[in-house]
Amino acid sequence: MDNRKQKKKAGTTSLSRRGFMTTIGVGAVGASVLSPEAPAETVPAGTGGTSIATAATAAEQENKLLPVSFKVNGRKHRLFVEPRQTLLQVLREKLMLTGTKPGCERGECGACTVLIDGIPRYSCMTLALEAEGCEVITVEGLMEGEKAGPVQQAFIEEDGFQCGYCTPGQVMAAEGLLRVNPNPTLEEIRQGMSGNLCRCGAYTHIFKAVQRAAELKKGRS
pLDDT in tens, 30-53: 444 344 444 444 444 444 555 665
Residue-level pLDDT at 33: 39
Same domain, 167 and 119: no
3-class SS shares of the chain: helix, strand, coil, % to 5: 50, 15, 40
Q: What is the pLDDT of residue 53?
A: 59
For residues 130 and 147, membership in a common domain is answered with: no
Q: How far apart are the first and last CA of the chain?
A: 111
Say if CB 178 and CB 213 are below 8 A apart: yes
Q: Give a yes or no: residue 218 inside a domain.
A: yes
Cα dist from 176 to 12, 15, 142, 182, whole Å = 82, 74, 11, 10
10-residue stretch averages of pLDDT, the chain, 221 residues long: 48 48 45 43 46 58 87 97 97 98 96 98 98 98 95 97 97 98 97 97 97 93 63
> What pLDDT is attached to residue 219?
81
Whether residue 88 is contained in a domain is answered as yes
Asked if residue 150 and residue 137 are part of one domain, the reply reads no
Whether the predicted model's global pTM rises above the 0.85 cut: no
Q: For residue 72, tell me if it sits in a domain.
A: yes
- Within a domain: residue 6? no
Q: Read off φ and ψ for residue 137, nearest 5 degrees.
A: -125, 125
Same domain, residue pair 79 and 114: yes
Statement to judge: residues 197 and 152 lie in one domain: yes
Other beta carbons within 10 Å of 209: 28
pLDDT digits (tens, 9 = 90+) for 128-153: 999 999 999 999 999 999 999 999 99
Instruction: Using DSSP bridges, classify how beta strands 66-72 and 113-116 pair: parallel, antiparallel or unpaired.
Output: unpaired
- What pLDDT is recorded for position 79? 96
Q: How many domains does the chain have?
A: 2
What confidence tens digit (pLDDT) does each residue in 162-171 have? Answer: 999 999 999 9
- Which of 121, 141, 161 delimits the end of a domain? 141
Alpha-carbon separation of residue 208 from 106, 127, 185, 213 (angstroms): 28, 33, 11, 9
Q: Is residue 10 within a helix (H) or strand (E), and if so which, with residue range?
A: helix 3-13
Greatest distance between any 2 Cα atoms in the chain? 111
Helix (H) or strand (E) holding 81: strand 75-81
- Cβ-in-10-Å burial (0-12, 13-18, 19+) of 1 comes to exposed
* pLDDT at residue number 90: 98
pLDDT for res 20: 42
- CATH number, domain of 161, equals 1.10.150.120
Q: Give the residue numbers spanning the domain of 151.
A: 143-221
In this structure, the answer to whether residues 118 and 69 fall within a common structural domain is yes
